[in-house]
Amino acid sequence: MLLIHVISVQVILVLSQVCLWGNKCDLSISAGMENSQVSCPLAQVDTLREYVLINDLDLVWNQLQ
């Protein structure tokens, strides 16, 4: 049961970051310009993590429990 809990925490934290950076793609769309996703959002999470000023996802998870 503990392993399932740890995996659940990891999944929630990663998906939260994917949702955060999903806005990056939305905001980059401009009228008349071609836009397509060329890489996997999950692969970009680690690269983009350094741009997060404050990460309180652990506190959020604790509140959700």
C-alpha 45: how far from its chain's center? Answer: 6
Q: What is the pLDDT of residue 60?
A: 85
Q: What is the number of alpha carbons within 13 Å of residue 12 lying toward its C-beta?
A: 15
Q: What is the pLDDT of residue 16?
A: 87
Segment 19-35 shows an average pLDDT of: 64
pTM above 0.85, yes or no: no
Q: Is 5 within 8 Å of 57 (Cβ atoms)?
A: no
55 contacts: CB under 8 Å, gap ≥ 6 = 49
